[in-house]
Amino acid sequence: MTTSAPSTAATKALPGTLALLGGPPAVSLPDTTRWPLVTQDERSRVLSVLESGVLVSDRNQVTAVDELENRWAEYVGAAHSIGVCNGTVALQLALAALGVGPGDEVVVPALSFVATAMAVANQGARPVFADIDPHTFNITAEAVENVLTTRTTAVMPVHLHGLPAPMDEILDLSRRRGLRVVEDAAQAHGATIHGRSVGTLGELGAFSLQATKNLPTCGEGGLIVTSDDTLAHRIRRLRQFGETIEAGEPRRYVSHEIGWNAKLSAVQAAFTCAQLDRFNQRTQAQRHNVAAFLERLAPLVGLFVPTIDRPGVTHAWHILRFRLDPTVVGLDASEAASFREAVHRLLRAEGVPLTRYQLMPLADQPAFGSLAPTRAPQDFPHTRQVLEDSLVLQRRHLDPSAGPLLQQYADAFEKVWDRLDIARTLVRRSAR
Ligand SMILES: *Cc1c(COP(=O)(O)O)cnc(C)c1O
């Protein structure tokens, strides 16, 4: 920001002065982070598809789609991986392959991206929402159990922000109650529970390759994983107009069931293959940078940083969510939203690009109004609380070179926390 006022010794703000009050912002580095990273590898992989002359994906030819499918199956430790056009369709095809449809209820978290519930609704089934745990932001088996009815046929746990949902408990409940399990792993590539990749713990797992996700493509894409041969066969058929493409055989143009055109393009797959070459290396750098960042924020009183709740779990750190406690500055717990707004203004002025991720429980989305007639302001109390009192950091920390920038974000948090009474003043002033 530039100012026309002359910068004299008398008016010059001290370095410790909050940027919102005219001081210099704590973040001085330009934000040069990028996501996805596009290197010579991505360029040459994509170019080689363009130059191969094979741009259709409905023939029995080995393409980058096959390569990506094979490599991802191996990476996560599943027998099969099927490339599709996006993560939402991946979820829907997974449900379709299980025979979930009209008359069925599918339990999804009250806090997630809208696609989780929309895939259920697109399949003609009814999404039923379960509240989250306020510390992990994931559903619990108990919350799922609370909303089960005789019509519930499946549960779709989301590994939100990259933290695995409590799959042991959810799988145990599913076995007891005869429920199918589709994991929404769109935000959690590489996250594991006891060394096993998310997406492979339930019957089917869906990943998104959308450009902002941890394993991105240069646009839209998705991958479904399963170790069930029959389900894999059915999904391949559903993605291709209900046709079966046999190895070494010409396409027959016989549709065995109503399917979709849900194929993944070879260009998108080639880009992701290049991303996969350096996925482990990038993930390690991200983990290192995020750990160093969170370590500095953890001591700040009234700031709750994301953590890993159980041993044996790795976090994909897709989104970093921070909760804020208004009572540390003497505000009432009911003033959480105003406090969050005040802290947001202070940190944004310092140069920290925090945002909000999801503004309401999924059940409140107008799109689901007719599907969730029982919703009420007192439903999903944890989800509502978390949405009121938290802010998120997205994307910046995914770039492996973000370490120094994250350290300046930490400087900004520390600076604001030194003068957190100002946040209280801002809340009181706006209340008047
Ligand atoms: C991104 C996302 C999806 C949908 O994936 P698309 O590839 O964008 O269709 C589904 N669920 C969650 C939790 C997501 O974050």
- Answer whether 116 contacts ligand 1 (Cβ < 6 A): yes
90 C-beta closer than 6 A to ligand 1: no
pTM confidence score = 0.95
Q: What is the pLDDT of residue 369?
A: 80
Low-confidence ranges of the chain (pLDDT < 70): 1-15, 57-60, 372-377
Q: What are phi and psi of 365, to 5 degrees?
A: -60, 130
Q: How many CB atoms lie within 10 A of CB 404?
A: 10
What contacts 317, CB < 8 A, 6 or more positions away?
Answer: 161, 162, 286, 287, 290, 306, 397
Tell me how long the chain is: 432
DSSP-derived 3-state class of residue 129: strand
Instruction: Please answer whether residues 137 and 386 qualify as being in contact, where contact means their C-beta atoms are separated by less than 8 angstroms.
Output: yes
Residue 207 CA, ligand 1 centroid: distance in Å: 8
**Residue 91 Cα, ligand 1 centroid: separation in angstroms?**
9
> What tens digit of pLDDT does each residue of 255-296 get?
999 999 999 999 999 999 999 999 999 999 999 999 999 999
Q: Ligand 1, from 187, 321, 365, 395: best to mutate by most atoms within 8 Å of Cβ?
A: 187
> Is the C-beta atom of 87 inside 6 A of ligand 1?
yes
Burial class (CB in 10 A: 0-12, 13-18, 19+), 126: buried
Are the CB atoms for 209 and 268 separated by under 8 Å?
A: yes
pLDDT of residue 8: 44
210 Cβ closer than 6 Å to some ligand 1 atom = yes
Residue 112 Cβ inside 6 Å of ligand 1? The answer reads yes
| Residue 187 near ligand 1, beta carbon < 6 Å | yes
Alpha-carbon span 424 to 82, nearest angstrom: 52
CA-based R_g, the chain, Å = 24
**Residue 16 C-alpha to ligand 1 middle, in angstroms?**
41
